[in-house]
Amino acid sequence: MSIPFVSRSLSLSVPTKNPSFSFATLAVTNPVEKYWTHLQSNDPNIEKALTRIGAKLDSPCVKELITRCSSTDNHPTSGLRFFIWAGIQREYRHNSYMYNIACKAFKINQNPNAIKDVIESYTINHSVVNLKTFKVVLNLCKEAKLANEGLWVLKKMKDFNCKPDTTAYNLVIRLFCEKSKMDEALMLMEEMSLINLHPDMVTFVTMVKGFCELGRIQDASKLFKIVNQQGLSPNVVAYSTLLDGVCKVGDLEKGLELLLEMENKQGVFTPTVVTYTSIIRGFCEQKRSIEAFTILDKMKKCGCTPNRVTISTFINGLVMENKLDEVYKFIDRVVNKGSVSKSECYSSLVVTLFKVGKFEDGERVFRRMLVGGLKPDGVACSVVLKKMCLNEERVLDSFELCNEIEKLGFVISIDSEIYSILMDGLCKKGCLIEASKLAMLMGEKGIKLKGGFLKSVVEYLKNAGEMELVSRIFEVNGG
């Protein structure tokens, strides 16, 4: 008897048992797998099928599914349709991060036709869509900064018996403003009134900002009259935006007039710290920092307290005019009023001095802070140490300063990049004792070497025969 015959006989004679389960019939309980199964079916009525599933939606689920769809050539449009459908579900809403992920996954910036393809697929499949659907699509255009495609979507809505609302128009208007295409944006704003829509303050402020960015202050000012005619009253954001634009073109006198107008109106027009800082910046950029002190007095009368940005703006202006003595007087003045701490003021001074190339002055102020018990912020610590680290002759100085900061309890302020640059510099200089101490400190703090520094540092240490130190560094970096 041949072996195949025996095999067949055995298979027929042995009774078969029904398995307790099979992978083919196993119920899929994972939401991702449930949705993925339906997306692979190429059902032309994707949205209805997805709705029937009823599985839980959350950001990790959506991210996983659009990643799968984008990596499969057969499912890019299905993936986009899933993303749009998910964005209109009651229990879930996309955040800005998810729009960013979707744009990257489907490469919408490089392939803007993906937006048109998905809308056309709705037409071909006779899909039921609504205003919310189009708003998700418009938000994709917003994330990808696609003004023309956004306009196309806006016009396409009528084919689906959907009427755009003010929010939809605002989104497209903003896209054109960001592209500096103000004439197109203005046409859209005028078009709104033709379909019984009324621009709101979001429309108005967006347009004012767009004109100001181009230096078209007169056009921005005209919008205030248009808004008043439509029964709207410009708010403090609108006035502040116009004032900032006026200051950027250097018309400080006009800026002061606007500021006075806001102060006189009070109420919802009361200038904010942002408003005052804008005009202070205008004076400082024209090297009229001392004159800007009068703005501080105005702020005090209005009960508005200067913040860190205001202080930094003043310090930057005075330093640019080489008026360091005035900087110290200014710091004493604002610190005495209690609006900003001395440490914040001097940290800003250190950063400004380094920014303008006054490194010796900046380091001197920084060391005075440490001696005087002031706590430099993370930016100040980083700019000083980075400058020293990048100078091969000062690597040890940088290490010693880092230790000094650590002893004072300020090490939390130092950027991990600084530790990486410092470790690299110590290894290059052959300062292995210091490198070992730094590695221990980084291990205690859980700080890893950044970027390509790991490979460089390990190579130096291996060549020096410091295998124990290499092991320590790999341990911290998870290698």
Mean pLDDT calculated for residue range 124-138: 93
Burial of 5 per CB tally in 10 Å (0-12, 13-18, 19+): exposed
Of residues 40, 117, 108, the one with CA closest to residue 75: 40
User: What are the distances in angstroms from CA 305 to CA 276, 290, 295, 310, 336?
Assistant: 10, 19, 11, 9, 13
Express each pLDDT in 417-447 by its tens digit.
888 888 888 888 888 888 888 888 887 777 8
Q: Is residue 154 part of a domain?
A: yes
Express each pLDDT in 163-196 by its tens digit.
999 999 999 999 999 999 999 999 999 999 888 8
> How many angstroms separate the CA atoms of 186 and 373, rounded?
56
Mean pLDDT calculated for residue range 414-419: 81
Burial of 372 per CB tally in 10 Å (0-12, 13-18, 19+): exposed
3-state SS class at 279: helix
> How many angstroms separate the CA atoms of 256 and 276, rounded?
10
User: What are the distances in angstroms from CA 346 to CA 254, 340, 379, 404?
Assistant: 33, 10, 12, 18
pLDDT band, very low/low/confident/very high, at 331 (cuts 50, 70, 90): very high
Residue 269 and residue 262 in contact, taking contact as beta carbons nearer than 8 Å: yes
- Give alpha helix (H) positions in 87-130: 96-105, 113-124
Task: Name the pTM for this structure.
Answer: 0.77
> How many angstroms separate the CA atoms of 106 and 79, rounded?
8
Higher-pLDDT residue of 18 and 266 is 266
Mean pLDDT calculated for residue range 235-242: 90
Per-residue model confidence (pLDDT) at position 29:
61
Lowest mean pLDDT among 17-26, 158-167, 238-247: 17-26
Higher-pLDDT residue of 164 and 22 is 164
Of residues 286, 287, 288, 339, the one with CA closest to residue 310: 339
> How many angstroms separate the CA atoms of 404 and 442, rounded?
15
Q: Is residue 285 part of a domain?
A: no
Residue 26 has pLDDT above 50, yes or no: no
pLDDT band, very low/low/confident/very high, at 455 (cuts 50, 70, 90): confident
Which two structure tokens, joined as six digits, stand for 373? 């018990």
Per-residue model confidence (pLDDT) at position 2:
41
Express each pLDDT in 259-287 by its tens digit.
998 888 866 778 999 999 999 999 999 99
Which stretch of DSSP H or E encloses residue 232? none
Residue 208 and residue 238 in contact, taking contact as beta carbons nearer than 8 Å: yes
304 φ, ψ (degrees, to nearest 5): -105, 125
Residue 248 has pLDDT above 70, yes or no: yes
pLDDT band, very low/low/confident/very high, at 6 (cuts 50, 70, 90): very low
Per-residue model confidence (pLDDT) at position 158:
93
Q: Please provide the distance, in angstroms rounded to a whole number, between the alpha carbons at the two ends of the chain.
A: 61
Whole-number average pLDDT of the chain: 86
Q: Give the residue numbers spanning the domain of 65.
A: 27-164
- Give alpha helix (H) positions in 214-267: 217-229, 236-248, 252-265
391 φ, ψ (degrees, to nearest 5): -95, 110
Structure-token match 């295998």, residue found: 467
pLDDT band, very low/low/confident/very high, at 63 (cuts 50, 70, 90): very high
Structure-token match 């009651």, residue found: 90
Per-residue model confidence (pLDDT) at position 13:
38
For residue 454, the number of C-alpha atoms closer than 13 Å in the C-beta half-sphere is: 16
Q: Is residue 109 part of a domain?
A: yes
Mean pLDDT calculated for residue range 100-128: 92
> How many angstroms separate the CA atoms of 341 and 331, rounded?
9
Q: Is residue 138 part of a domain?
A: yes
Q: Is residue 82 part of a domain?
A: yes
Mean pLDDT calculated for residue range 388-395: 88
Residue 147 has pLDDT above 80, yes or no: yes
Q: Is residue 307 part of a domain?
A: no
Which two structure tokens, joined as six digits, stand for 6? 């025996």
DSSP letters spanning 167-214 = HHHHHHHHHHHHTT-HHHHHHHHHHHHHTT----HHHHHHHHHHHHHT
Of residues 235, 215, 211, 240, the one with CA closest to residue 223: 211
How big is the chain by its Cα radius of gyration, in Å?
A: 32
3-state SS class at 230: coil
Domain count across the chain: 1
> How many angstroms separate the CA atoms of 254 and 212, rounded?
14
Q: For residues 224, 227, 228 and 230, what is the CA-based torsion angle, rounded to 10 degrees?
A: 160
Task: Output DSSP code: residue 27.
Answer: P
Q: Is residue 35 part of a domain?
A: yes
Lowest mean pLDDT among 21-25, 53-57, 185-189, 279-283: 21-25
Q: For residues 236, 237, 239 and 243, what is the CA-based torsion angle, rounded to 10 degrees?
A: 130
Per-residue model confidence (pLDDT) at position 75:
62
pLDDT band, very low/low/confident/very high, at 413 (cuts 50, 70, 90): low
**Residue-wise over 203-221: b if at least 16 C-beta within 10 A, else e?**
bbbbbbbbbbbeeebebbb
Residue 104 has pLDDT above 50, yes or no: yes
Work out the percent of the chain whose per-residue pLDDT is above 90.
Answer: 53
Per-residue model confidence (pLDDT) at position 450:
79
